[in-house]
Amino acid sequence: MSTPYQELLDFDVATLSAKLHSREISPVELTEAYLGRIEQTDKSIRAYITVTDTLARKAAKKAEAEIAAGKWRGPFHGVPIALKDLVYTKNILTTGGSKILAEFKPDHDATVWTRLARAGSVLLGKLNLHEFAYGITSSNPHWGIVRNPYGLDRIPGGSSGGSAAAIVAGGPPALPRPLSPLSTAEREAMARSERLLTATAIPDLREALRLARQLADAHPDSKEAQYLAGAAAYRNSRWPEAAAYFRRGGPPGDDHPELLFYMAVAFYEVGDQPGAASALKRSLPNLQKTPFVESYVKRILGQ
């Protein structure tokens, strides 16, 4: 039974790999879905300089036969990919986004493509970019201006604008979402919020929470930002908000007993007794016992 076209385009690499390995989907149907999507969208966004459809179909059939025979090469086997057009690919046009290399076909592969090909990846094509990767707009006068799929009147950034536009438009698949990095300014704001929370004089709890909220909302996938916001909300007795930030960040490690205790209290105050008990039990072995802590031990664990 084939998987719906759009659903195939929504899977990230990790999910596709598992489904290919189990033969729930085939490299051939997956490759055809991506090539179909490229044909639908690329006249508008110009993400590709070269589409290697013939080579992709050949590689997909080979991957399908190998997987069926039990010759699994690993997590990229049968997964469609595309390469920025700076990456050397033997006998495939590689322009660097410049008209100077309009007919250049390397006589060897770059290491990255050698390894991906060995891993069984399926090459969809070569992606557009700012000329020689020297710029941030990807408005390429030689191979087409790369458009932002979210708004064709906007740029996708650069120099890898074709790569970004292709992923947003539905091909090639994205890697599982990485943690978004905190900038230097944001880390300074985080440190300031922590100082405000732990001030030995009169802590500015409201300002600490304001800063922590900004960081947590800007970086929903950053555990440390969520934990800081959870702690700041806890210190302001904003229990639903604290519980929400801790849930978003996930359980802290046992080496953070104070955070686990904050989480336990927030969960208790919003009525999540099982969650409160679980967090509190994990915090107790390394947590300094105070009358305040003991009061919540009695309330949550009945001890």
Q: Could you tell me if 276 and 265 are in contact, meaning their C-beta atoms sit under 8 angstroms apart?
A: yes
If you compute the radius of gyration of the chain from its CA atoms, what whole number of angstroms results?
Answer: 26
SS3 at position 69 = coil
**pLDDT tens across 141-178, in order?**
999 999 988 778 788 888 999 999 988 887 666 544 44
Question: Do residues 158 and 138 lie in contact, with contact meaning Cβ atoms separated by under 8 Å?
Answer: yes
What integer is the mean pLDDT of 83-97?
Answer: 96
**Measuring CA to CA, which residue among 47, 48, 173, 169 is closest to residue 122?**
173
CA distance 288 to 139: 59
CA 290 to chain centre: 41
Q: Residue 184: is its pLDDT beyond 80? A: no
Q: How do residues 92-148 score in pLDDT, each as one tens digit?
A: 999 999 999 999 999 999 999 999 999 999 999 999 999 999 888 899 999 999 998
Q: How far apart are CA 243 and CA 272, in angstroms?
A: 9
Instruction: Report the Cα 154 to chain-centroid distance in Å.
Output: 22
Residues 6+ apart with CB under 8 A from 106: 88, 89, 90, 91, 92, 94
Q: What is the mean pLDDT of the chain?
A: 87
Structure tokens at 103: 């007919």
41 CB-contact burial (10 Å; exposed 0-12 / middle 13-18 / buried 19+): buried
Residue pLDDT, tens place only, 207-253: 888 888 888 888 887 888 888 889 989 988 999 999 999 998 888 88
Domain boundaries of the chain, sorted by first residue: 5-169, 184-301
Strand intervals (E) in 68-203: 80-84, 122-127, 139-140, 144-145
Residue 278: partners with Cβ closer than 8 Å, 6 or more residues away: 251
| pLDDT of 200 strictly over 70 | no
Look at residue 139 and give its three-state secondary structure: strand
Pairing of strands 144-145, 139-140: antiparallel
* CATH assignment, 5-169: 3.90.1300.10
Distance separating alpha carbons of residues 298 and 301, to the nearest angstrom: 6
CA distance 132 to 135: 8
CATH architecture, domain 184-301: Alpha Horseshoe (1.25)
| pLDDT of 280 strictly over 70 | yes
Task: Give the whole-angstrom CA distance, residue 51 versus residue 260.
Answer: 51
